[in-house]
Structure 1
Amino acid sequence: MVRIYDMKQKEVINTRDGSRLGYICDIEIDLDEGKLIKIIVPGPGKMLGFFGKDMEYQIEWDAIKKIGEDIILVDLDIEKCLIESEY
């Protein structure tokens, strides 16, 4: 059993290229089904905090391959999951 707080303490790493994506900042849950749909990780930082849009990695539950003690391993195409933040 894993709590959301515990998941937010784990670093998310993409197994395709070994890149470190960061830490979970939010999740998306289907309340009707009672299922976790996505984890959300902040995207790459804006240059000097001024230029660019806020981007985030929206990682589908199916892309999560392993949740370990310190890390969450995911297998994903970065280009497809890096999306402009809605907030």
Structure 2
Amino acid sequence: MVKTSELRTKDVVNVVDGRRLGLIGDIELDLEQGRVKSVVVPGASRFLGFFGRDRDTVIEWEQIQKIGQDVILVNVAPFTDQTHSS
């Protein structure tokens, strides 16, 4: 059994590219089914938080590969930089 408070203290790491995504900021529940639907990792702050932050990463429960003592391993498609220079 894992408590939600324990989940929020574990690093989330993507097994696809080894990238650390951050800590869980929120958990989405399906109350009708009585199960966790997804976890949300907040986007990183930009320049001391003055310019907002990146988009949150929503990870479906099925994408979680392993919940370990210190980390949560997930299988999420790698992110690409969507900004282009003109």
Q: Name the structure 1 match of 2:44.
A: 44
Aligned residue identity for 1:24: I
Q: What TM-score, normalized by structure 2, do the two folds share?
A: 0.83
TM-score normalized with structure 1 length: 0.82
Paired with 1:5 and 1:49, the residues of 2 have a C-alpha distance of 25
- Structure-2 change in CA distance of 1:52 and 1:78 (3 Å): farther
Larger strand proportion, structure 1 or 2? Answer: 1
CA–CA distance in structure 1, aligned partners of residues 11 and 53 of structure 2: 23
- Structure showing greater radius of gyration is 2
Unmatched runs of 5 consecutive residues or more in structure 2: 80-86
Give the fraction of aligned pairs with identical amino acids, expressed as a percent.
47
Q: Distance in 2 between matches of 1:10 and 1:53?
A: 21
Gaps of 5+ in 1: 80-87
Structure 2 contact 40–57 (Cα < 8 Å) conserved:
yes
Q: Tell me the number of residue pairs that the alignment of Structure 1 and Structure 2 aligns.
A: 80
User: Could you say what the CA RMSD is over the residues aligned between the two structures, in angstroms?
Assistant: 1.7
Which 4+ residue blocks in structure 1 deviate beyond 4 angstroms?
none
Shift of 1:78: 4.3
Give, in angstroms, the shift of residue 51 of structure 1.
2.5
